Amino acid sequence: MKLKSIPIFIINIIGLIVFSSCDFINYNEFHLPIYTPADLDPDWVDSSLKNSTDPHVVDNFEFVNQNGVVVNEQTVKGKIYIAEFFFTTCPGICPTLIKHTKKIQDEFLNDHDVLILSHTVYPKHDSVSVLYAFGEQHNINSEKWHLLTGAKQDVYRISRKGYFAISYQPDLSDEGFIHTENVVLVDKERRLRGIYNGTNAHEMNRLIEDIYILKKEYQL
């Protein structure tokens, strides 16, 4: 009986060593993916970008935040940021989205490497003053979390071609509207590193973990 147990003991020890080694390697070498259009569901990718195998980089942009300050690609230069879409009078997914995003603000409140960009999809209503009042109501720190408004075509273009946040061609008519729960993680080179359901608490907790992973990647 003892003789039979020796090989099993040795195998278990070898397995433990191999497992520990693999775990160590994975922990230290793990990186978030750098998404290309070809990696994503084709429904979410604009036809002009489909099948591209190059890392997707968000185009230059310019919007105005709740303080009336211009926010553009220079604002996020050298920053990790998340991008999402909402509107202040939304009765559906937006309250949950804002609540979950507030956790991200609070987690990284004193971390100058992390920003949040929330774009209103209803710029006709959500003026600078409306966004400011909304920010005050929800204790949003305007240095960390930018509530953005701008021309409708610019907001809808970046939602579709910049962040792949909607799975359809947006309607730019007065009746047109977009609605998306997608929250996108963007790195310091404006590349897409993760896409999350902003109404799902588990996914937003994973987003927080992924921000820490991305920060570590830049420290290596």
For 37-219, the fitting CATH number among 3.40.640.10, 3.30.565.10, 1.10.10.60, 3.40.30.10 is: 3.40.30.10
Asked whether residue 16 carries a pLDDT value surpassing 60, the answer given is no
Express each pLDDT in 99-120 by its tens digit: 999 999 999 999 999 999 999 9
Express each pLDDT in 152-184 by its tens digit: 999 999 999 999 988 767 666 666 567 789 999
Residue predicted with more confidence, 167 or 208: 208
Express each pLDDT in 50-61 by its tens digit: 889 999 999 999
Q: Give the residues across from 149 on adjacent strands.
A: 64
CA separation (Å) from 131 to 17, 139, 149, 151, 175? 56, 12, 8, 15, 21
Percentage, residues of the chain above pLDDT 70: 82
Is the Cβ–Cβ distance between 165 and 159 less than 8 Å? yes
Q: What is the mean pLDDT of residues 24-41?
A: 77
